[in-house]
Structure 1
Amino acid sequence: MASPRLETFCCPNRDASTEFVINFQPVFFSAICIGSAGVSLVFSILQILPKRRGYRRLGQYPLPKPASSSRILFIISVCDILGCAGILVRSSIWLGLPDLVSGISDTSSSDVWPEVFCVGTAVWIQLFFSASFWWTFCYAVDVYLVVKRSAGLSTIVLYHMITWGLAVLLCVEGVAMLYYPSISSCENGLQHAIPHYITTYAPLLLVLTVNPVLFARTVSAGEPHPKGRQGIYTENERRLGTEIKIRFFKIMLVFFICWLPNIINESLLFYLEMQADIKASHLKNVRNATLITWFIMGILNPMQGFLNTLAFHGWTGFHVDLTFQQPRELAWDSASTSVAAAGGYNPIVGSTLHYQSHIQEAKKTMAANGQQPSDAISVLSEGNRNDRSPVYQGW
């Protein structure tokens, strides 16, 4: 799981509420994290691998360079996989080497490796899940700007600078504040912990609050305008708009399911910290709710990787194609955000999603009428590529 409490756990003089949740059934909790992270890791990798069935083999057609939004979806999956791998490694070590965990609390020991491992894995997990949050925000921004046709010539490099720069900056700043001046003296007051919690939850809250607004505006901006268009194109746009709404709803649903328990759990833990005695009888229900959300986090946080791939692409199947052929390059503008900016036609195989055939019909109809196809159709439909998994054409 990914929680700032795990960074405070690395402090020998950790607070009482952190001690309470960490020491409750640690073996069972680690086993749950291993199971959830293992399942998510395996199926996430399986999801993003190219598939044989209905997959357009490299070299069969000239392959265009994928749009920025398509690359962002792939990077989000990679960040989720790396964060999930960190959870798997940490939980496995904690379960297999209990002496290492107990060494974190031993202030008399001169062995620094327990604390190094604890801090290193905690920072690794926070960094990649934080980067996943920032990339999810950039995805919403990128799609919205393309639909509004106000993005100009955007480049994926700009998104890399924003996401990785902010993720590293906030992670380093939060950890430095928490462990200043040393690990043994952290948690001696809220002035150490609060900045760390803020830097951890800032990108999470940003996605929870801003992304739904951006997605709603994107759908609204991409709604069809039947005036001056043929009926078949308007109907195709309407069908595509429905698919777009469903996909955006799935993305936000996965995010809320996986990370809302973190916010609830952190609120309960802060409430317990404010109490003189967290073991008081009148706090029994609060303690139970805290433990329940704690174990839910252990299950849902690692599952974000797999659930995200389902939201992005749907179930892509087990038919993995590991053969490699050198793709033939086209002279595409690498800075272009949308593949369909020039109204070009891309060959489509038979197993493409049904509504994507309507997109191609719409493009042909618009080209025949001397009109340009919509950037919204091209960019917003690129995540729904179940069997072909063409998001990997550019990687």
Structure 2
Amino acid sequence: MASPRLETFCCPNRDAATEFVVTFQPVLFGALTLGSAALSLMFAVLQILPKRKGYRRLGQYPLPRPASSSRILFIISICDILGCAGVIIRSSVWLGLPSIIDGISVTNNTDVLPEVFCVGSAMWIQLFFSASFWWTFCYAVDVFLVVKTSAGISTIVLYHMITWGLAVLLCVEGVAMLYYPSISDCEQGLQHAVPHYITTYAPMLLVLIANPIFFSRTTSAVTSLLKGRQGIYTENERRLATEIKIRFFKIMLVFFVCWAPNLINESLLFYLEMQADISDSSLRDIRNASLTTWFIMGILNPMQAFLNTLAFHGWTGLDVDLSLQRTRELAWDSGSTSVPNVAGQNSVVGTTLLYQSHIQEAQKIGNGQQHSDAISVLSEGNRPSSVASRSLVYQGW
């Protein structure tokens, strides 16, 4: 799981609330987080691997570069997978070598290995999950800009600079404030730990607040583009708009389910910290609630890796293709249901990989096709419903 409490736990003079949750049934908690992270990592990797079923050979078509939104979704999955790997390593060591935890609890301990491992593993997990938050925010910004400007060109390098720069900066700054003047002698008090918690939860809150706004405005813009393309709003276009809404809803639902327990748990623990004695009988319900959300966090935080791939692509199947020829193939995502073709109308166009070169080519042709490209970027991941729709994609529709 990704919680600043685990970094606070690396201080021997940790606060009572952190000591209470981290030391409660550590073996059971470690086993749950290890199992959740291992399953999530395994299925997430399986999801993003190329599949044999559903592939179509391009023949004379070369392999262009994927659209920025496709690459952003892939990077989010990689960040989640790396975060899960950190959870697996930390939980495995804590379960297999309980002396590591005991060494952290000893004040003025000369053995620095327990504290170094504690801090290193916690920073690894926070860094990659924080990067995942920033990339999720960039995805919302990217799809909004593509649809709003009908340009379809996004600077992926700029996104890299923003996400990794902010993730590293906030992680290092928060940890430096927390472990001042040293890991073995951290300063005590809420005012000392608050900057660390802010740097951890700021990107999470940004996604929870800003992404629904961007997704809502993007959906409204998509509806306008669909109506303005031919002056009519057909059933197929209505279905496409609905699929885009569902896609955005699933992304936000996964994020809320996986990370809302963190906010609830942190609020409860802060309330306990402000009490003179957290073992008071009047605080029994608060303690139980904090422990419950703590275990829920341990299960749901790592599951974001797998659940995100389901939200992005649907279930892609088990038929993995590891052959070298896969680079000559274009994946049609099998996660969404196909839309029947209606005579005289263009069927819903969507692919797992929508390529930036198509969008750039469309810019040379006209605004109508620019609008189509912008919408196609959002509908990527939906299976094309007919041969005619595939040919439109090939032609840069």
Q: TM-score interval w.r.t. the shorter chain?
A: 0.7 to 0.9
Q: 1:347 to 1:253 in 2, by over 3 A?
A: closer
Partner of residue 355, structure 2: none
Structure 1, unmatched stretches of 5+, are 330-345, 387-395
Are 1:122 and 2:122 an aligned pair?
Answer: yes
Given that 1:179 and 1:192 are in contact with CA atoms closer than 8 Å, whether structure 2 keeps it comes out as no
Q: Does 1:8 align with 2:11?
A: no
Q: Which residue of the partner structure matches residue 242 of structure 2?
A: 242
Question: 1:1-395 counterparts in 2 under 5 A?
Answer: 1-57=1-57, 61-149=61-149, 153-224=153-224, 226=227, 229=230, 234-325=234-325, 327=327, 354-355=338-339, 358-360=347-349, 371-372=368-369, 373-384=371-382
> Normalising by the residue count of structure 1, what TM-score does the alignment of the two structures yield?
0.86
Q: Percent sequence identity over matched residues?
A: 73
Q: Once structures 1 and 2 are overlaid, which stretch shifts more, 83-92 or 372-381? A: 372-381
Partner SS for 1:222: helix
Give 3-state SS (helix, strand or coil) of 1:253's partner: helix
SS of 1:56's equivalent? Answer: strand
- 1:350, 1:31 → 2: CA distance? 34
* Residue of structure 2 equivalent to 1:337: none
Q: What is the alpha-carbon distance in structure 2 between the residues aligned to residue 158 and residue 136 of structure 1?
A: 14
Q: 1:59–1:325: 8 Å Cα contact kept in structure 2? A: no
**2:313 touches 2:333 (CA, 8 Å); kept in 1?**
no
TM-score between both structures, scaled by the size of structure 2: 0.86
Higher relative contact order (CA 8 A, sep 6+): 1
Q: Which amino acid aligns with 2:376?
A: S
CA distance in 2, matches of 1:297, 1:278: 21
1:131-151 deviation line (CA, Å, top 9, x unaligned): 000000000000000000166
- Aligned partners of 2:152 and 2:373 also within 8 Å: no
CA positional deviation for 1:194? 0.5
Letter of the 2:154 counterpart: S
In structure 2, relative to structure 1, the CA distance for the partners of 1:191 and 1:370 (3 Å cut) is: closer
3-state DSSP class of the match of 1:109? coil
Q: Is the 8 A contact 2:6 2:122 kept in 1?
A: yes
Query: CA–CA distance in 2 between the matches of 1:259 and 1:227?
Result: 38
Deviations 1:278-313 (A, max 9, x none): 000000000000000000000000000000000000
Q: Which residue of 1 aligns with 2:354?
A: none
The 1:113–1:370 alpha-carbon spacing in structure 2 relative to 1, beyond 3 Å, is closer
1:385 Cα deviation (Å)? 5.6
1:186 CA drift (Å): 1.5
Structure ranking higher in helix proportion: 2
CA distance, structure 2, for counterparts of residue 321 and residue 26 of structure 1: 40
Contact 2:314–2:336 (CA<8 Å) still a contact in 1? Answer: no
| CA gap 1:370/1:79 in 2 versus in 1, 3 angstroms | closer
**Kindly tell me: are residues 160 and 275 of structure 1, through their superposed partners in 2, closer, same or farther at Cα, counting changes over 3 Å?**
same
Distance in 2 (CA, whole Å) between partners of 1:267 and 1:194 is 12
Letter in 2 for 1:359: V
Count the aligned residue pairs: 366
CA contact (8 A) 1:359 1:377 kept: no
Q: Secondary structure at the match of 2:134?
A: helix
Partners of 1:349 and 1:286 in 2: how far apart? 45
Contact 2:100 2:114 in 1 (8 A): yes
Q: Which 10-residue stretch deviates more, 146-155 or 44-53?
A: 146-155
One-letter code aligned to 1:45: V
CA-CA distance at 1:327 after TM superposition = 4.4
Q: Which runs of 5+ in 2 are unaligned?
A: 342-346, 351-357, 385-397
Q: Which residue identity lines up with residue 74 of structure 1 in the other structure? A: F
Post-superposition offset of 1:105: 1.1
CA distance in 1, matches of 2:62, 2:28: 51
Alignment check: 8 A CA contact 1:215 1:248 kept: yes
CA distance in 2: counterparts of 1:113 and 1:369, whole angstroms: 62
Assess, with a 3 A threshold, how the Cα gap between structure 1 residues 54 and 273 changes in structure 2: closer, same or farther.
same
Q: Distance in 2 between matches of 1:178 and 1:369?
A: 55
Q: CA RMSD in A?
A: 2.9
Question: Which has the higher mean CA deviation after the structures are superposed, 279-288 or 177-186?
Answer: 177-186
User: Which shifted more, 254-263 or 61-70?
Assistant: 61-70
Matched residue, 2:389? none
Which residue identity lines up with residue 354 of structure 1 in the other structure?
A: S
Deviation at 1:384, TM superposition (A): 3.4
- Cα distance in 2, alignment partners of residues 152 and 350 from structure 1: 24
Post-superposition CA distance 1:157-212 (Å, at most 9, x none): 01000000000000000000001110122141223200000000000000000100
Q: 1:348 to 1:136 in 2, by over 3 A?
A: closer
8 Å Cα contact 2:108-2:184 kept in structure 1 = no
What is the one-letter code of the residue matched to 1:8?
Answer: T
